[in-house]
Amino acid sequence: MRALIIIDQPPYGSWEGREALDMALSLAAFDQPVALLFCGAGVNWLRKGQDAGKVQQKSIERNLAAAPIFGVEALLADAGACDQYGLAEADLLDDVCITDFGTELTGGFDHVAFAG
């Protein structure tokens, strides 16, 4: 079973993205192959240099940086959404792979789930 968890919600506005990240980490903890895909406003998760202190939240940057260490196989960003939000590769966290979100991508996974 290969799973793809898709985050299409921006960070900090709701807990749906964080809870989707927990799903991915949980799959990895049980040795299930899993990748994370960020699309739509969700690509803002991948910005470098986030400071969430002013909204009294923890930055998700460290959680994402740790995801590959905990066994998440890939952090994928939809190319179209990156363009829409003005994100070039240099603006993104390390280890992020820019890709095209479509049936060719999702077809490679047995289990695909959206955040919220």
Closest distance to other proteins from the beta carbon of 111 (Å):
5
Question: How do strand 111-114 and strand 34-38 relate by DSSP bridges?
Answer: unpaired
Closest distance to other proteins from the beta carbon of 4 (Å):
12
Q: Which is nearer to other proteins, 48 or 62 (CB)?
A: 62
12 contacts: CB under 8 Å, gap ≥ 6: 52, 55, 57, 60
Helices of type H across 1-116: 16-29, 61-66, 79-84, 103-106
Q: Which is nearer to other proteins, 67 or 98 (CB)?
A: 67
State which amino acid sits at residue 23: M
Nearest-angstrom CA–CA distance, 20 and 107: 20
Q: Which is nearer to other proteins, 70 or 97 (CB)?
A: 70
Interface contacts to other proteins, rule CB under 8 A: 1, 3, 15-16, 19, 22-23, 26-27, 30, 32, 111, 113-114, 116
Closest distance to other proteins from the beta carbon of 66 (Å):
17
Closest distance to other proteins from the beta carbon of 113 (Å):
6
